[in-house]
Amino acid sequence: MQDNLVQRLSSPVPRYTSYPTAPHFNESIGPEVYSDWLASLSAANRLSLYVHIPYCDRLCWFCACHTKQTLRYEPVEAYLKGLHAEIGGIGGRVAKDAPVTALHFGGGSPTLLRPDDMRALKTCLDANFTFADDAEISVEMDPNDLDDERHDALADIGMTRASLGIQDFDPKVQKAINRIQTFEQTRGVVEAARVRGVRSVNCDILYGLPFQTMETLGETVRAVISLAPDRIALFGYAHVPWMKKHQTMIDEAALPGVVERFGQMRMAAEMLLAAGYEAVGIDHFALPADRLAVAARNGTLRRNFQGYTDDQADALIGLGASAIGQLPQGYIQNMPATSEYLRRAAEGGIVAVRGYALTEEDRARAFVIERVMCDFGFSFADVATRFPAFSRLIRAEANAFAASDRDGLCRIEGDCFLLTATGRPFARTVAAVFDAHLSSGRGRHSMAV
């Protein structure tokens, strides 16, 4: 019965790190609109910054991020000049005293930057933005890049959270995805970060990888637990070779089927829960004292382009090629092509090329979808208070889905629409019920489990 359910509900749907999702962005929202949006931010608005480094010194075949491999540092140096220019251009359009409460360096591999370049980048950010004293500074780390000098530089820029992609420790799986990384390397990075005062460590694990089995995944999960990370993300591998051509290097015949993927996910989740981690949303786990677990318990969990977060900032500003931002008015995305990004950055620092201006109906649906993804349900009264013009429509859609639900995915309980224990693993599929744009989208998505 469950196998049949998994097969039927695994159809591709968005991950809902935004609503509407990126395929609905358009070129009518560009530099002029973005400049106006930035100017509307005031000292009362808390800011979150995302800085994208779109380079790796090796290309992992499973990766779906916007990045490119380089064995020379010159392209990285040229990119950093453009990034500094963009930071200056954006910083000059935002209220100087608007506090930055979170900064995330993503990629690609931010840790391939030379130590002095890491420090210079943070100095540039400090010169253009005002950081709160307790701002969280997180960095995505590749253990193969790191040495003592880079660890020291990360400490100098104030890193508070280290984010390590592990994926799987099994040598056969690592070879199949071109991600060679030993447990000893990873443990060394965790220890080096902690000895320098980093207070939070999170690790990523992937299931659904080529040649992965229940046994090999179980060994990886046990090894990760032994590192005692504060957070663990348990992601399903998104096989999207039509979008990321390097994924064609992965042997599709070696990928587990959807039922086996689901079994891997459930097994790993049970192991993490047994080890004392609390479930956060559909794919995160955190120790009880971690800020993400606290947010999940008190109803303040959020979802943005990095996934689940406790970040309560009013605006997310994306910096770097392809970076996406989220402001009160809508979404904005930078030029993805690095050469064109650099040209535009040199001309004035505004490199936005497309985006989406939210309507009030979009805001209502975004709220409902985020609550389904974060809290596995929502209150009709809450929707009515926030979005009175669309509360009846949302209630009607929820009631219609509940009435047609023959799989026991949800229930209407009092004033609330709630996912059941059966429905929670399929939160993306349930969230799609409230997506008015899905049928008109041009994008193709990864499977739902």
Model confidence pLDDT, tens digit, residues 421-432: 999 999 999 999
Is the backbone of residue 144 left (phi > 0), alpha (psi -120 to 50) or beta? alpha
Please indicate, yes or no, whether residues 298 and 407 belong to a single structural domain of this protein. Answer: no
Half-sphere exposure of 402 (CA within 13 A, CB side): 16
| CB atoms near residue 111 (< 10 Å) | 25
The answer for residues whose C-beta is within 8 angstroms of residue 343's C-beta and 6 or more apart is none
The overall average pLDDT reported for the chain is 94
Residue 441 has pLDDT above 60, yes or no: no
Poorest-pLDDT segment among 208-217, 260-269, 432-441: 432-441
In 294-415 the beta strands, taken as DSSP E runs, fall at: 302-304, 307-309, 315-319, 324-327, 330-334, 352-357, 377-379, 410-413
Residue 293 has pLDDT above 60, yes or no: yes
* Angstrom distance (rounded) from CA 243 to CA 303: 23
8 band by pLDDT with thresholds 50, 70 and 90: confident
- Largest Cα separation within the chain, whole Å, is 61
What angle in degrees, to the nearest 10, is found between the helix axes of 338-348 and 74-91?
40
Domains held by the chain: number: 2
* pLDDT tens readout for residues 19-44: 999 999 999 999 999 999 999 999 99
Residue 128 has pLDDT above 90, yes or no: yes
Residue-level pLDDT at 46: 98
Residue-level pLDDT at 11: 79
CATH of the domain at 68: 3.80.30.20
Q: Which of 339, 357, 375 is the last residue of a domain?
A: 357
When pLDDT is averaged across residues 327-331 and rounded to a whole number, the result is 98
Please indicate, yes or no, whether residues 215 and 83 belong to a single structural domain of this protein. Answer: yes
Residue-level pLDDT at 449: 65
Please indicate, yes or no, whether residues 343 and 395 belong to a single structural domain of this protein. Answer: no
Residue 233 parent element (H or E)? strand 231-236
Tokens read off for 118: 């890491």
Quick check: is 381 in a domain?
yes
Whole-angstrom CA distances from 141 to 56, 105, 163, 333, 421 are 11, 9, 6, 24, 34
* Angstrom distance (rounded) from CA 332 to CA 322: 10
Quick check: is 445 in a domain?
no
Please indicate, yes or no, whether residues 42 and 177 belong to a single structural domain of this protein. Answer: yes
Please indicate, yes or no, whether residues 236 and 383 belong to a single structural domain of this protein. Answer: no
Please indicate, yes or no, whether residues 278 and 307 belong to a single structural domain of this protein. Answer: yes
* Angstrom distance (rounded) from CA 397 to CA 150: 52
Please indicate, yes or no, whether residues 399 and 267 belong to a single structural domain of this protein. Answer: no
CATH of the domain at 418: 1.10.10.920
Please report, rounded to a whole number, the percentage of residues in the chain having pLDDT higher than 70: 98
Please indicate, yes or no, whether residues 144 and 243 belong to a single structural domain of this protein. Answer: yes
| Cβ atoms 355, 30 nearer than 8 A | yes
When pLDDT is averaged across residues 269-278 and rounded to a whole number, the result is 98
When pLDDT is averaged across residues 107-130 and rounded to a whole number, the result is 97
58 band by pLDDT with thresholds 50, 70 and 90: confident
Please indicate, yes or no, whether residues 170 and 194 belong to a single structural domain of this protein. Answer: yes
Half-sphere exposure of 80 (CA within 13 A, CB side): 19
Quick check: is 340 in a domain?
yes
Residue-level pLDDT at 446: 55
* Angstrom distance (rounded) from CA 124 to CA 138: 17
Q: Is the omega angle on the peptide bond into residue 20 within 30 degrees of 0, that is, cis?
A: yes
Residue-level pLDDT at 100: 98
Quick check: is 147 in a domain?
yes
* Angstrom distance (rounded) from CA 341 to CA 335: 5
Q: Is the omega angle on the peptide bond into residue 91 within 30 degrees of 0, that is, cis?
A: no
Quick check: is 162 in a domain?
yes
When pLDDT is averaged across residues 282-306 and rounded to a whole number, the result is 96
Quick check: is 143 in a domain?
yes
Give me the phi and psi of 163, to 5 degrees please.
Answer: -115, 115
Residue-level pLDDT at 36: 97
* pLDDT tens readout for residues 64-85: 777 888 889 999 999 999 999 9
**Residue at 338: amino acid letter:** T
* pLDDT tens readout for residues 278-288: 999 999 999 99
Please indicate, yes or no, whether residues 148 and 243 belong to a single structural domain of this protein. Answer: yes
Q: Where are the alpha helices (DSSP H) in 162-308?
A: 171-177, 183-195, 214-226, 258-274, 291-298
Helix and strand element counts for the chain (H, E) = 15, 19
The answer for residues whose C-beta is within 8 angstroms of residue 390's C-beta and 6 or more apart is 360, 361, 364, 365, 383
Q: Which of 317, 336, 357 is the last residue of a domain?
A: 357
Please indicate, yes or no, whether residues 258 and 400 belong to a single structural domain of this protein. Answer: no
Residue 1 has pLDDT above 70, yes or no: no
* Angstrom distance (rounded) from CA 69 to CA 175: 17
Residue 433: which of 331, 367, 365, 359 has the closest Cα?
365
Residue 241 has pLDDT above 90, yes or no: no
The answer for residues whose C-beta is within 8 angstroms of residue 96's C-beta and 6 or more apart is 129, 130
Quick check: is 449 in a domain?
no
| Cβ atoms 317, 325 nearer than 8 A | yes
Quick check: is 239 in a domain?
yes
Give me the phi and psi of 237, to 5 degrees please.
Answer: -60, 125
Please indicate, yes or no, whether residues 284 and 410 belong to a single structural domain of this protein. Answer: no
Q: Which of 332, 357, 382 is the last residue of a domain?
A: 357
When pLDDT is averaged across residues 120-141 and rounded to a whole number, the result is 98
When pLDDT is averaged across residues 343-351 and rounded to a whole number, the result is 92
Residue 325 has pLDDT above 80, yes or no: yes
Q: Which structural domain, as residue segments, surrounds residue 382? A: 360-440
**Residue at 169: amino acid letter:** F
Give me the phi and psi of 281, to 5 degrees please.
Answer: 65, -150
pTM above 0.85, yes or no: yes
